[in-house]
Amino acid sequence: MDDPAAALKREAGEQAALLVENGMVVGLGTGSTAAFVIAALGRRIQEGLKFTAIATSEHSAAQASKLGITLTDFGHHDGIDLTIDGADEIERKSLNLIKGLGGALLREKIVAAASRRLVIIADERKLVRHLGEHTAVPVEVTPFAWEATAHRLGRLGARVSPRHDRDDSLFVTDGGNLILDCNFGVIEDPATLERRIGEIVGVIESGLFIGRAALVLVAGADGVARFEPA
């Protein structure tokens, strides 16, 4: 039997999957929550829904392909109608996000930026008053001189830890880069921090997603709540 959190995420994922319509190009997120969406979309494919998808990770692409979802790429489509993804923290008032604990933040942000609509699904534990309350900001960096990049991130006030794989080697993203998990504590001005991180040479992208979510579906004990930007 599922644990309560998994059941909540599945419920939110299934509701989000109902937003996909025939003929859409759909962005598929990465992580445990996004996996529920992909599974629900696989069932809708069997019921006759027709759409194509761009996945944000090799893992999500493999799951989608196995379920019969047709995959495409940006060589064939310059935009995405709808992307459905999870998040690691959601600022309740602004709907700003921290993403990237699943290791796919660069591809996730590329897909989000190309999307007409970004829908985020999560369980209620991910809602916070301010970003950074519980989660470090993942920052994807070039492998070359990553130590110097980490030092510069530290100057912004972060406690920086290189992410490791299960065998204790440095975690490598699908794009061949590294991730530095940067704990800034409570973030009072996420937009400024996103800009300052991006100005550091060696940084490819950060897991701060500012002003990108069009809809957030949050599953809790009383059902799925909808949040939209004010």
- Is the CA virtual torsion 94, 136, 26, 45 positive or negative? negative
- Please name the helix (run of DSSP H) or strand (run of DSSP E) that holds residue 193, with its range, or none: helix 190-198
- Give the type of residue at 190: P
Q: Determine the Cα–Cα distance for residues 135 and 217; give it in Å rounded to an integer.
A: 20
Residue 21 known to be catalytic: no
Inter-CA distances, 11 with 18, 41, 151, 223, Å = 11, 13, 42, 8
User: Cα(first)–Cα(last) distance of the chain, in Å?
Assistant: 38
Q: Do strands 203-206 and 82-85 pair parallel, antiparallel, or not at all (unpaired)? A: unpaired
Q: Which of 14, 89, 108, 205 is catalytic?
A: 108
> The tokens of 34 are what?
């996004």
Contacts of 99 (CB under 8 A, 6+ apart): 85, 86, 87, 88, 105, 108, 109, 138, 207, 209
Residue 102's CB is within 10 A of a number of other CB atoms, namely 23
> The tokens of 207 are what?
């897991």
130 near 92, Cβ under 8 Å? no
Catalogue the active-site residues. 108
